[in-house]
Every structure is written in C-alpha cells, then in structure tokens.
Amino acid sequence: MGVLSRAEAQQRADAIRNFQRELSVLERDGVLVLGDEQHRSLSEHHARLLAEYGRLYDIDGDARAKQLSLGMRVASFFGALALAASVFFLFYQFWGRFPTAVQVALLIAASLASFCGTLWVQKLDASGYFAKLAAMVAFACFVLNIAMLGEIFNITPSDKAFVPWAAFALLLAYACDLRLLLAMGILCLIAFISSRAGTVSGMYWIHFGERPENFFPAALALFLVPQFVPHHRFPDFAPIYRVFALLAFFLPVLVLANWGELSYLDREPSLVKGFYQLVGFAASAGAVWLGVRRGWPHVVNTGVVFFVIFLYTKFYDWWWEIMPKYLFFLVLALVAVLILFVLRRLRGLAKPVAEAA
C-alpha cells in the first residue's frame, strides 16, 4: 500500500516501531527467531521506509519527538490564531486612509498572495506546522477580503458568504492536511446550513441562533459526510466531522432542555424542556452505543460527556436547593462511579465485537 499522507506515514512508522519492539520480545523469549538474512532484510526494509517517511513527511521518530510535536502543534495553533488576528488589525489600522481602488486591490492581493504563499510553505515544510500558520493567515485574509468589501460597498449582509469561506477553508484543509482549517470550514458550513434552515420559517438569517433546532440539519449532514466521502488519506478528519456534528446536535439540545421557549415547538416551555431532556439522554446514550459498536472512541467520549452534563444539570435542577451540599456532591460522585461501571461493562462487550471485526 503506498503512503499518501503524513498521518498515514506516521501510523505506518508507529506500526513498524511496535512491530520491532514485539519482535525483539518474541526473539528474547524464543517464540520466534528470524534467520540472519531475514533479520537483515527486514531491518533494512524498515530503516529505508522510516528514512523515507522522515524525509518526505517529517514524522516523529520516537516517543520524545511525539511529545515535542504535541507542543509544536499547540504553539502553531495559537500562533496561527494570533497571526490571523494580527493581519486583521493591520488592515483595520490603515485601510481607511487608502482610496477605494487601493483598498480593493490590497484585499484581493492579500488573499491571492497568502494562498500562493501557503502552498509554497507547504512544499518546503513537510512537518505542516508552518503550513498551518500560513493557511490560517490565508483563510483570515479571505474572510477579511469579503467582509471588508461588504463594509466598503455597504453590501447587505448575506449568509451566502459562508459558502466560499467554507470552500476555501476545506480546500486548504485537504490540500495541506490541516485539522484547524477543517474545523474552520465545518464552522462556516454549520453557519450556512443553519441560517438556511432558519430562513425557511421566514426569519432574517442572522437570527438563526435564536432557534437552536436550526442546527440539527447541519449536525446530520456533517455526521454523514465521513460515511459517504472516504477519508483514507485523512484518518484524522472523519473524527472531526463527527465530533462537530455531535456538538452541533447536543449543544442546541442542551440549550432547549433548559430554555424550552426557544424551541420551534408550539407547546408549553416546560413540556418542550422535558422532551429535549429525554432526547438529550437518549441521544447521548445512543452515541455511546454507536461509538462502541463502530469503534469510534471520539463518539463514545462526546456521548459520555454530554450524558454526564445532561444528568448533572437535571440533578442541579432537582436537588441543589433542597439537599445539603455534601449530599449533593456525594450523589454526583456515586453517579460517576456508576458510569465507570457501565463503561467498563461496555468495554468488555466491545472486545468481542472488535475481535469479530
């Protein structure tokens, strides 16, 4: 199988190192002993692969490198956000002094140059950290570009702007294998689909957040993306789609479970709250079940987190005022222990499924 992306190269390199460790244990225990020729051939093959991956994809060589690379990811994430903010404020500081034609030319040139610059940086930087910085700046430049054209020409605000922003962020994400840009693209898609869902009722699009149900179609669409679009080259992307889909579903449900009057449902707010509390419990439990069944740990974790949040908010409603605080927190602790038992049992059930798969 040819390696296509950095994530796949990293996975393969990790598998090779695990294999080498296990092989040395097996040889020490005398379970499996390779001949000298086989040993040499295998070692050379692995060394060649690791060297090639290191050269092409700048993968992490060992556990220490992995820890450092986590730090680099965090640094590049904050650096990317800060650099994007810097670009915005730089333009903000001076744009009013330029004639309209210069403003427009600067905005378009910044978008084009930062995009081309991102592809150039990506070509030079196999690790992807600097490409992430450049891509975030390119995305910020394009958002600024369209937003400021709207400001300069007094254009009526439109949710359609989210479409090219989403397309651009997704293009950068897939071209440079960047999860941060994928998240930006997904957020733009959520905003667009939700605002379109809201306008069906006739409301002005910018108010889409006032009816949390508007987010449900976006949640469903995002959850289905990895099902219909294969992501073999981008193994980290499918979890991001699913986690954002779950957030786009559970956060509105959580809001509706506490403020029923925000719902489209034309019923007593207390009834609506009760309904969404049930939906919250059932759906988060369903997410845990689905995650265990399909081997999606991110779905399991998100489901557990929201199940606990739904449970604790109900406990707060019921008992915070009437219970002594030591008893209230004791109940929470006991529930946490109960959840641990349930999850342990689910883990036990998951093993046969995984083995069967």
Partner 1 sequence: MPWGRREVLWAGLALLVATNGIVLAGALYNRAGQPEAVLRLSQRELDLPWRWGFERENSGISLEMRWRIPRFATSDETGYEQGVSWLDKAKLHELGFDVSRSFATVSGKRYYAKQLPREVFMVLEFDAAAYRAAVQRAEAREKRAAERAAANPGVVELKRALDSANRDLESERQRVSRLFAVDAGRDPAVLREKYPDRSHYAIVPGLVRLAIYRRGMDDVPVGYVENLSVASVNVPARYRAAFASAYKETEEARPGVGNFEVTVAFGRRLEPWVVDVQRSGK
User: What are the contacts of 240-244 at 24+ separation with CB within 8 A?
Assistant: 240/179, 240/182, 240/183, 240/186, 241/186, 242/296, 242/298, 242/299, 242/302, 243/298, 243/299, 243/302, 244/183, 244/186, 244/187, 244/190
**Does 255 interact with partner 1 (rule: CB under 8 A)?**
no
The contacts of residue 158 (CB under 8 Å, 6+ apart) are: 205
User: By rule CB under 8 A, what string of x and - marks binding of each residue 151-190 to partner 1?
Assistant: xxxxxxx------x--xx--xx-xx---------------
Residue 97 DSSP class: G
Residue 32, interface with partner 1 (CB under 8 A)? no
| Cβ proximity to partner 1, 171 vs 323, nearer residue | 171
Q: Can residue 106 be called a binding residue for partner 1 (CB under 8 A)?
A: no
335 binds partner 1 (CB under 8 A): no
Which residue number, 76 or 103, has a Cβ lying nearer to partner 1? 103
Number of residues that bind partner 1 (CB under 8 A): 53
Instruction: Considering only the C-alpha atoms of the chain, give the largest distance between any 2 of them, rounded to a whole number of Å.
Output: 80
146 binds partner 1 (CB under 8 A): yes
Choice between 175 and 285, CB closer to partner 1: 175
Nearest alpha carbon to residue 88 among 132, 29, 48, 136 = 136
Which one among 38, 201, 227, 270 touches partner 1, defined by CB under 8 A? 201
Do 12 and 52 form a contact (C-beta atoms < 8 A)?
Answer: no
Contact between residue 260 and residue 269 where contact means Cβ atoms under 8 Å apart? yes
- For partner 1, the binding residues (CB under 8 A) are 4, 89, 92-100, 103-104, 108, 111-112, 115-116, 119, 123, 142, 145-146, 149-157, 164, 167-168, 171-172, 174-175, 198, 201-204, 207, 210-211, 233, 261, 264, 266, 268-269
